[in-house]
């Protein structure tokens, strides 16, 4: 019974959520677009001409937002490149290259490198999150693992002056993740956008300029 009540409460909150309504109105696939929008507006992350990689891109709202920011090229299309990567399928988004696969595996890396053609990435976005079990220690380890993967990806594929934005959770293991970010980036900021629900421990970490690019 408690679970049913919880599901009903979540559904009620979701249906009445102003960001859900805004996403439906503006054509975004998820309310998560507004988290990126707020951080981008504060930090001016997305600029014309950039190469952007969206890790864990499905369902695609972050790629949609980035695409809208790079739109306006003469004759249509975008001024820059966006590559989405996910092990789950994603419905196509105009002007966004999508690679379905695990970015740790050679097949996905080959596809990525073919698109990059020797160029480095300006901005790496990661809204990846594991399926949480409710066991704090194991959940923290899963979150940390995904963030480690995103940092490693940035070190390999991003310009030294680039930026990495990842989803994190403020709880067990957060200080360790923050410490790692500070070891790898010259500038580190934590962000809690308004579109991130108050009840959620979700927080975003932004790292700018790599200290140790590979």
Hey, which residues are catalytic here?
Answer: 167
Cβ(193)–Cβ(39) below 8 Å: yes
Sheet holding 51-55, edge to edge: 96-100, 81-86, 51-55, 121-126, 158-169, 202-210, 185-191
How many angstroms separate the CA atoms of 63 and 82, rounded? 7
Q: From residue 26, give the alpha-carbon distance in Å to each of 11, 146, 185.
A: 21, 30, 34
Cβ(81)–Cβ(115) below 8 Å: yes
Ramachandran angles phi, psi of 190, nearest 5°: -105, 140
The C-alpha torsion from 116 through 181 and 66 to 201, rounded to 10°, is 140
Q: From residue 75, give the alpha-carbon distance in Å to each of 59, 69, 72, 79.
A: 27, 16, 8, 11
Cβ(157)–Cβ(118) below 8 Å: no
């Amino acid at each position: 019974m408690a679970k049913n009540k919880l599901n009903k409460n979540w559904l009620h909150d979701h249906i009445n959520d102003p960001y859900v309504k805004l996403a439906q109105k503006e054509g975004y696939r998820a309310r998560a677009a507004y988290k990126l929008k707020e951080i981008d507006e504060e930090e001016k992350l997305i600029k014309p001409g950039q190469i952007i990689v969206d890790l864990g891109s499905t369902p695609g709202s972050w790629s949609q937002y980035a695409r809208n920011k790079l739109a306006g090229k003469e004759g249509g299309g975008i001024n820059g490149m966006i590559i989405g990567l996910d092990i789950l399928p994603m419905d196509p988004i105009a002007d966004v290259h999508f690679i379905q696969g695990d970015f740790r595996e050679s097949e996905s890396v080959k596809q990525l490198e073919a698109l990059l053609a020797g160029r480095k990435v300006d901005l790496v976005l990661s809204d990846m999150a594991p399926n949480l079990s409710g066991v704090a220690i194991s959940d923290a380890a899963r979150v940390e693992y995904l963030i480690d993967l995103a940092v490693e990806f940035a070190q390999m594929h991003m310009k030294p002056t680039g930026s990495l934005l990842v989803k994190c959770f403020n709880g067990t293991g957060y200080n360790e993740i923050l410490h790692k970010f500070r070891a790898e980036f010259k500038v580190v900021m934590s962000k809690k956008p308004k579109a991130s629900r108050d009840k959620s421990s979700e927080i975003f970490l932004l790292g700018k300029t790599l200290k140790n690019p590979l």
